[in-house]
Amino acid sequence: MSDIRPIVRLAARGDGISDDGRFVPLAAVGDSVDFSSNPPRIMPGPHHAAPACAHYPACGGCQMQHMDEAAYRDFVIDRLSRVMPGGLPADVRPIALSPPRSRRRASLKALKRGGKLVLGFHSEGTHALVDIADCPVLSPDLMALLAPLRVLLKARLKDGQGAGIALTQSDAGVDVLLANVSAEGLAAIEALTDFAAAHDLARLSVEGPGGIDTLVERRQPVLAMGGVDVPLPVAPFLQATREGEAALVAAVLEAVGDAAKGSGRVADLFCGLGTFALPLSAKAQVLAVDAAGPAVMALGVAARQAGRRVEVQHRDLFRRPLEGKELTAWQAVVFDPPRAGAEAQAKALAAGPVPVLVAVSCNPNSFGRDAKILVEGGYRITTLWPVAQFRWSSHVELVARFERD
């Protein structure tokens, strides 16, 4: 007896869900599934798409290449609607979706075994490496380095040895950090130095038991933020794509609004390298706070050299959130925490007097928790900007403006 069911929605990780609640990997909304087959057979619907990558779905980097852009955009909005306290606000802006081949940072793994080198990303939920020949997500500059890195690492690694590779595309060129790759001895140093020169790297560093050692810095890696060149520490955190960063910055500036003009004072919490602090500082006085010492230091140096009104503070906001009288000076507060969210800081903000709060989040679930705290404290969400810079991924970002009722 046949058991055919339609896929009616998607789970948070992109699996299809049938009308009777069964999960089906690689199914899109509008597909039908014959559960009488073993395994269940997917009958493609109007939104099913051919994957853009030959490594899909083995590679764990993307979960949603089996659906078209319209279905993906619907997924993003549905994902956000499920975590918003009170549902979506009336003002939801169009989704900012980064294009293919735009990712400017990546962390890969390499393993040499049996004289062969595998270089790529882990398979979903496992430690198995998927050997990547081409990646439709990575920028051309990063993609072009994978083949030369294979040659380099095959020569430098012992059999059974693994290595980590962090690639960052800065405005001055690519910054490479190799983990567990020996730089001891003249031959090793020369091989790595020659590699950096041959491929015009801005910087090449190695990480071992003693920490990080920069072997070659042909140019200081920098990234322009708000018109200011910020020197990058090794393997920095930055937004995954230029397009995604531009969308987030534009949303934050609009959300902050008049508070960032004239004598306005804005606090940027979990500021990182200054993605938002520096654009805001073009018109407002900014307090930038983060626990990441190298990032805060780089931001402070860049701001002073550019004459921007940015005060930096090295502080762990999870243990010591801004609270009480510390919040009275600010017309707006921007907060962009890591995936764990900002529960302690949200509680302090909910009890404070700040008229405008702007949340930037890379995790809808932790955002939903923090937003509920703020709403229960008397705020309401007025505007939402969805951002999908991790194309073909279930990773969804957002900017939300909160105002006091």
Residue range 335-363, pLDDT digits in tens: 999 999 999 999 999 999 999 999 999 99
Amino acid (1-letter code) at residue 64: M
Candidate list 59, 62, 271, 362, residue with the active-site label: 362
| pLDDT computed for residue 262 by the predictor | 66
Q: What is the pLDDT of residues 211-235, one digit of tens each?
A: 999 999 999 999 999 999 999 999 8
Hunting for tokens 């503070």 — which residue is that? 313
| pLDDT computed for residue 264 by the predictor | 87
Report the predicted TM-score, pTM, of the whole model to 2 decimal places: 0.95
Distances (CA, A) of 58 to 26, 63, 219, 287, 386: 11, 10, 37, 44, 28
Q: Please determine, for residue 132, whether its predicted confidence score (pLDDT) is greater than 90.
A: yes
> Known catalytic residue: 362?
yes
Mean pLDDT of 363-374: 97
Strands 203-208 and 211-217: antiparallel
Domain ranges in the chain are 4-63, 83-99+241-404, 105-222
Q: What is the pLDDT of residues 243-295, one digit of tens each?
A: 999 999 999 999 999 877 767 899 999 999 999 999 999 999 999 999 999 99
Of the candidates 365, 362, 371, 357, the residue with the CA atom closest to the CA atom of residue 86: 371
Q: Please determine, for residue 1, whether its predicted confidence score (pLDDT) is greater than 80.
A: no
For a pLDDT cut of 90, what percent of the chain falls above it?
94
| pLDDT computed for residue 288 by the predictor | 98
Secondary structure (3-state) at 255: helix
Q: What is the pLDDT of residues 171-196, one digit of tens each?
A: 999 999 999 999 999 999 999 999 99
The correct answer on CATH 2.40.50.1070 for the domain covering 105-222 is yes
74 with 31: CB under 8 angstroms? no
What does the mean pLDDT of the chain come to?
A: 95
The β-bridge partners of 311 are 287
Please report how many Cα atoms fall inside a 13 Å half-sphere around the Cα of residue 271, on the Cβ side.
34
The correct answer on CATH 3.40.50.150 for the domain covering 83-99+241-404 is yes
